[in-house]
Amino acid sequence: MKTFRKFLLPLSLACTFSAFAVDNEQELPTQTLFRNVNIFNGVDNKLYQNHYVLVEKNIIKQVSATEIQGHKNVVVIDGAGRTLMPGLIDAHVHLNLQNLDNPAAIDGVSNMTWEEIGALAYDAAQEYLYSGFTTVRDLCGMHDGMRKHIEAGTLIGPRIYLAGACISQTSGHGDWRTNAQALGDDGNKNGQVQKLGISTLADGADEVLKACRNSLAGGADFCKMMAGGGVTSMRDPIHSIQGTMDELRAMTTATKQWDTIGAVHAYHDDSVNRALDAGVMSIEHGNLMTEKSTFKNVKKKGAYLVPAMAGFSNQLLKHPQYGNPDLPLKAKVEQIIKNYENWIALANATDINIGYGTDVVVSSKLASRGIRDFQMGQFVEGFGNYKTLVYMTSNNGKLMALTGKNNPYPSKLGVIEEGAYADIILVDGNPLKDLSVLGASFDMWATPREERTIKTIPFVMKDGKIVYNKL
């Protein structure tokens, strides 16, 4: 578009006045006017009835209770009393760790080529966008290849924030080498997931510094490191501490110099507090935090906690992997489930910054969908409709903005207000009363949705452009 205009300019200068006037008319910025909508603005616990919203190019230009006029070419959308709200944001996704019906989880990904991984990642990206998630944040393995093409308009997808390769110590949550590869110890070279740049092994501050810088070089907006044991990984016990203080600080030093943040995978008090002390601002999981002081520390530091809520549910034990008594995963999940009541009471009482993230990883397409919808139900059960909505919109918008001068999308996200990005969905019904209108489900194993769209979200706009319109 920009190149095209460069060539047009000298031509229009050479034109007659009347021809120039026609040219000017064509230069009117694209406008979309929503009328007859009730607004959830991402912040307030209410719907603003019968409002108007004017979008110009990719930005919300005006929000008003009284009628707005656009220019003569404005596209008018009559919301017919639907809810207009910010496009949703998922702060913890894994686009490059999708799977077919392969029960081998990470091993399944290890056996794929980039062609398969890329195709499935693109399919997953679309799945988010068409169900109303206009922004996602990838926590392991995305570099800016797909995003570049989405931004250029050659592919259709959500906005993507990305961490590049996730950084793990040898034997940590991101060490997905086979035992044969690990015993051969050829470092990063012989694990397929490492070779593909999805996860990277780093031991010692120098290697962590380099790993984070490599991610930044690949277009990452922030870095992510494993700071403690994980559930899906077979090799590391959930109680393990991962990363020395020097290694954690190496990551936050590299990210601070880019004016952005470090994120960690961490479940329990020790690993969370160590990461906070090292200046980490985004704690992924935290589901085994037991002490009020840890929650208060998250709050004091102004950090965000992004819990994967499905891990707290007994329903996860029906999963062929997580419920298998022969695998270490089952005992890990049971420990997390036991901590739920104490955890949710402390999270609500300390009123910490929570980000909404679903962490759907290595599941088949339909199972991913079922778990994703169930996560929303779990957030509703733990925090109620209003808070869940705030987490999915304005809170996550603030979390994305912590990428500072490195932020690929510097205007506001997750709110309906003047100057914010025009990422907008229309919803049949009032999500403050019923979140099933955004897809929330309370049964992880309900017949999964076959369609990527949600009937009660008939309209999705991203960056001022209509992605989906069934009005």
Shortest reach from residue 360's CB to Zn ion, in Å: 9
Q: Mask: binding to Zn ion, 100-139, rule CB under 5 A, as x and -?
A: ---------------------------------------x
Q: Chain-centre distance of CA 311, in angstroms?
A: 18
Q: Scan residues 234-253 and list those touching Zn ion (CB under 5 A).
A: none
**Three-state DSSP state, 258:** coil
Q: What contacts 468, CB < 8 A, 6 or more positions away?
A: 130, 453, 458, 459, 460
Q: By CB under 5 A, how many residues form the interface with Zn ion?
A: 2
Instruction: With contacts defined by CB under 5 A, name the span among 238-246, 338-346, 357-365, 400-408 that binds Zn ion.
Output: 357-365
Give 139 or 420: the residue with its C-beta nearer to Zn ion. Answer: 139
CA neighbours within 13 Å on the CB side: how many for 150? 25
Give 358 or 395: the residue with its C-beta nearer to Zn ion. Answer: 358
130 touches 217 (CB < 8 A): no
Give 208 or 361: the residue with its C-beta nearer to Zn ion. Answer: 361
By CB under 5 A, name the one of 221, 359, 373, 463 that touches Zn ion: 359
90 makes contact with Zn ion (CB under 5 A): no
Of all residues in this chain, which one has the CB nearest to Zn ion in the complex? 359
Q: Chain-centre distance of CA 419, in angstroms?
A: 22
Shortest reach from residue 233's CB to Zn ion, in Å: 11
> DSSP string covering 131-177, please?
TTEEEEEE-SSB-SHHHHHHHHTSS---EEEE-BSEEE-TTSTT---
**Three-state DSSP state, 451:** coil
Q: Mask: binding to Zn ion, 34-73, rule CB under 5 A, as x and -?
A: ----------------------------------------
Q: CA of 257: how far to CAs of 167, 208, 213, 309, 398, in Å?
A: 18, 14, 10, 33, 20
Q: Scan residues 181-220 and list those touching Zn ion (CB under 5 A).
A: none
Give 47 or 226: the residue with its C-beta nearer to Zn ion. Answer: 226
Radius of gyration of the chain (CA): 23
| Gap between the Cα atoms of 214 and 141, Å rounded | 12
Give 84 or 198: the residue with its C-beta nearer to Zn ion. Answer: 198
Residues binding Zn ion (CB under 5 A): 139, 359
